[in-house]
Amino acid sequence: MAEQPEQNMDKATMEKITSLAKRRGFVYQSSEIYGGQNGAWDYGPMGIELKNRIAAAWWKEMTQLHDDIVGLDAAILMHPRTWEASGHVENFTDPLVDCKKCKARFRADQIPPENIAEKKCPECGGELTDTRKFNLMFKTHIGPAEDTASIIYLRPETAQGIYVNYKNIIQSNRMKIPFGIAQIGKAFRNEIVTKNFIFRTCEFEQMEMQYFVKPGTDVEWFDEWRKRRWAYYEKLGVKMDHLRWHQHGPDELAHYAKDAYDIEYLFPMGWRELEGVHNRTDYDLGRHTQYSGKDMQYIDQDNNNERYIPYIIETSAGLTRNLLMVLCDAYDEELVDADDWRTVLRFHPNLAPVTVAVLPLMKKDGLAELAQDIRKELKEDYATDYDQSGAIGRRYRRQDEAGTPFCVTVDYQSKEDGTVTLRFRDSMEQIRVPKAELALRLKQEIKAYKRIK
Ligand code: ATP
């Protein structure tokens, strides 16, 4: 394992990432013209492409590459009893304190304990209120009457949609334990403190996989899923010295968990959770049995119809938090020569919003038309961009900053011999390639891609 740095010495800062994200159309503040909406963000043309590719990479890993995992897309609105059964109504709370003087609001577990003990605001020194429990679930009403009978919640995690469907999936898809169900979708939490850009938001997306196992095999499967999830980030090309494990201590464990590890990433603000791997035991299915009155036992037909409530190993990653990680991980500033710097996003080509940009050296003499023809051909297989304005060096820099791994430049020689320049984002190396071979060459380059910095 690579030696891990104590703190972040990268060139990426949250200010630079936030400003680049806006400038290049990755992420905008929600409702910006009204002063912005706290805890909500909009994904622009580049951001939605990046988010879709991160989701696709995870989906492929979890479903296509695992014969024993199937997908699901459950509704955000669920029967309110779900959240009583899951324990969220009772337990999904954060400790909250307010400053009576400056009105700042804090999570009591995120400020120094002496401030809580002395009831002293860490920002202005004013008096703090008593700590009170605050439930993070968003509540709304279904139907026209706004009474307690019509209360419904926006799901705070996608997992419960999987649990309530686990028997449906066994029946419709003839699944046998051990097997998994994967889901990507929105989740909502009324977070007390939202800061650090899209790291912690009130509306976000999760990529969760619930793996159903026989009790007694859970510890083994828990270790196996920890290994698999670590290997996944390695395959994605993430800087491995920026990842580490954090095991939950007894006071951190969620009400349902027997054991839990977070994969933490070294973000610009320090080490923070990226994904959790949890042994949720038979808690959730046991509670749904109790609350719904339905039998949630698995019947093992290969083993004398043995019945049991499966244990669940969960891998739970934030999609939007993964996007922030990918942006921070890719960010680099490089001295090209003398005092010439470039900003470059070193995305894996499978994640880059644009895979290849086609650039005619000049607009005139038929070069633009030739470049458009080449783009049209590449479009079938790749996300492309086209740019004909400004000096070629400046256009390369624009693509570097957007994280485009390949540029194809069409020049006068292209008209003569049908070759084009293929330029690589990371090394800035340029080679000549016959245009007829471009699509295949790109495929090979993507497959063989290794991050060099
Ligand atoms: P935290 O301790 O940071 O509040 P958590 O331990 O409650 O997070 P989980 O419930 O395990 O988080 O959620 C699984 C994953 O969902 C997290 O690892 C994270 O990537 C993502 N996630 C959770 N809450 C948020 C949020 N408010 N905004 C963005 N992503 C989130």
Work out whether strand 203-213 and strand 356-360 pair parallel, antiparallel, or are unpaired: unpaired
What confidence tens digit (pLDDT) does each residue in 343-363 have?
A: 999 999 999 999 999 999 999
Indicate whether residue 318 lines ligand 1 (CB < 6 A): yes
Q: Are 288 and 85 in contact (CB under 8 A)?
A: yes
Residue 33: how many other CB atoms lie within 10 Å: 6
Mean pLDDT of the 104-114 span: 90
Q: How confident is the model at residue 136 (pLDDT cuts 50, 70, 90)?
A: very high
On average, the pLDDT of the chain sits at 95
According to the model, what pLDDT value does residue 251 have? 86
Q: Point out the ligand 1 atom lying closest to the alpha carbon of residue 278.
A: 11
CB 321 less than 6 A from any atom of ligand 1? yes
Of 151-160, 254-263, 292-301, the one with minimum mean pLDDT is 254-263
Weakest-pLDDT range from 191-200, 225-234, 286-295, 380-389: 191-200
What's the CA-to-centroid distance between 185 and ligand 1, angstroms? 13
Q: Is 167:179 a contact under the CB 8 Å cutoff? A: no
- Residues with Cβ within 8 Å of residue 358, at least 6 apart in sequence: 371, 372, 374, 375, 378, 384, 385, 386, 407, 408, 410
How much is the average pLDDT of 130-153? 93
**Residue 150 above 80 pLDDT?**
yes
| Test site for ligand 1: of 245, 315, 321, most ligand atoms within 8 A of the Cβ | 321
Closest atom of ligand 1 relative to the 273 alpha carbon: 18
Quick check: 453 pLDDT over 80?
Answer: no
Residues 39-54: tens digit of each pLDDT: 999 999 999 999 999 9
Q: Kindly report the number of other CB atoms within 10 A of residue 443's CB atom.
A: 12
Q: What is the DSSP string of 237-259?
A: T--GGGEEEEEPPTTTS-TT-SE
Say what percent of the chain tops pLDDT 70.
100
Q: What is the mean pLDDT of residues 417-444?
A: 97
**pLDDT-based confidence at residue 110 (cuts at 50, 70, 90):** confident
pLDDT for 168 beyond 70: yes
Residue 411 in contact with ligand 1 by CB distance below 6 A: no
Question: How far is the first Cα of the chain from the last one, in angstroms, to the nearest whole number?
Answer: 17
The average pLDDT across 400-416 equals 97
The answer to whether the CB of 211 falls within 8 A of the CB of 225 is: yes
Question: Which residue, by CA, sits nearest to atom 21 of ligand 1?
Answer: 318
pLDDT given at position 1: 55
Q: What is the pLDDT of residues 302-313, one digit of tens each?
A: 999 999 999 999
- How many angstroms is it from 404 CA to the middle of ligand 1? 30
Q: What's the pLDDT at 30? A: 97
Q: What is the pLDDT of residue 300?
A: 96
Distance in angstroms (rounded) separating the CA atoms of residues 156 and 187: 5
CA–centroid distance, residue 298 to ligand 1 (Å): 30
Rounded to the nearest angstrom, the distance between the alpha carbon of 136 and the centre of ligand 1 is: 12
pLDDT band at 289 (very low <50, low <70, confident <90, very high): very high
pLDDT band at 141 (very low <50, low <70, confident <90, very high): very high
Beta strand pairing call for 384-386 and 356-360: parallel
Confidence of residue 430 (pLDDT cuts 50, 70, 90): very high
Choose which residue among 154, 200, 233, 312 to substitute to test ligand 1 binding: the one with the highest number of ligand atoms within 8 A of its C-beta: 200
Question: What average pLDDT does range 72-100 have in this prediction?
Answer: 95
User: Ligand 1: distance of its center to the CA of 429 in Å?
Assistant: 40
Q: How sure is the predictor about 2, in pLDDT bands with cuts at 50, 70 and 90?
A: low
Q: What is the pLDDT of residue 339?
A: 82
Lowest mean pLDDT among 170-184, 247-261, 266-280: 247-261
- The reply to whether ligand 1 has any atom less than 6 angstroms from the CB of 189 is yes
CB-ligand 1 contact for 200 (6 Å cutoff): yes
Residue closest via CA to ligand 1's atom 11 equals 276
More confident residue, 251 or 165: 165
Query: What pLDDT was estimated at residue 254?
Result: 84
